[in-house]
Amino acid sequence: IAGITQAPTSQILAAGRRMTLRCTQDMRHNAMYWYRQDLGLGLRLIHYSNTAGTTGKGEVPDGYSVSRANTDDFPLTLASAVPSQTSVYFCASSKGTENSPLHFGNGTRLTVT
Amino acid sequence: GQNIDQPTEMTATEGAIVQINCTYQTSGFNGLFWYQQHAGEAPTFLSYNVLDGLEEKGRFSSFLSRSKGYSYLLLKELQMKDSASYLCAVKGGDYKLSFGAGTTVTVRA
C-alpha cells in the first residue's frame, strides 16, 4: 500500500542525545515536510523540501536539521535534544502543486527527559 | 505571519449538523484545506477551497469567502465516527501550509 512510513513510532530520549527520525514515501511525491504537533498549538512546520536536493526552513526550525538526498527519504535530526522538543512529529508529502493535499505519516511520539 | 483561528471544542448530537468556523489573516492566499484527525492518528485530507463558494463532498461541505478571510466546514447527519479534531489550514503567499490549533468535535448519542 502506497504511503508514508515513519520510524520509530515512539522514543524516549535523554536530553543532549542525538536522534534521527526517519521518513520514507513511495508515492513519488516531489515535496516533503516535517511538522510537530503540540497540544493547543496545532501543527507547526519545522522544515520542508520542495524537491530532492533542496530544503527550507519552516516556522520552528531551530534545533532541527534535514536532508533530502533522494525523492523518497526525508530524515529529521535533532543534534542535541532538549525537553522542549518533546512532541509528536509528523512527516508529510505532496505532489507539490497548488491544490495538492498533504499526506501524513502516522507520527513519531518523542519524549525528551 | 499567519493567524488562523477556530473554536477549541464543539459538541453535537448524532444525526445533527455542526458548523466549524475558521477565520484567517495571512500574507497572501493560495488555498484553504480542511483535515480530520482522530485521536492518536494522522490527519487526513477532507476538502480544498481556493475560490469563493461552497464545495460539497457527501456529508461534508466546505465554504470559503476570501474577502472576509473566512471558511467553515459543515458536517451533516453526524455519526459517532465523526468525533475527531478538524484542522483548518491555509496555504499562504509563500505556498507553505499553516494550521489552526484544531476544533475537537464530540458526537453524543
- The per-residue pLDDT for A110 is 98
CA A80 from chain centre, in angstroms, equals 16
Residue A16 has a pLDDT of: 98
Could you give the percent of chain A with pLDDT greater than 90?
91
Length of chain B: 109
Chain A, window 35-64: residues with a beta carbon less than 8 angstroms from a chain B beta carbon: 35, 40-45, 48, 58-59
B12 DSSP β-pair partners: B107
Other beta carbons less than 10 A from residue B102's beta carbon: 27
Neighbours of A28 (CB within 10 A): 10
Residue with cell 494550521: B99
Going by pLDDT thresholds of 50, 70 and 90, the confidence category of residue A1 is low
Mean pLDDT by 10 residues, chain B (109 residues): 90 98 94 97 96 95 97 98 98 91 97
Neighbouring CB atoms inside 10 A of B101's CB total: 20
One-letter amino acid for residue A31 of the chain: A
pLDDT in tens, B28-48: 999 999 999 999 999 999 999
In the predicted model, is pLDDT for residue A82 greater than 70? yes
- Quickly state the pLDDT bin for A40 (edges 50, 70, 90): confident
Chain B: which residues have CB within 8 Å of chain A? 30-31, 33, 35, 41-45, 48, 50, 87, 89, 91, 95-102
- CA pair distance A21, A5, nearest whole angstrom: 11
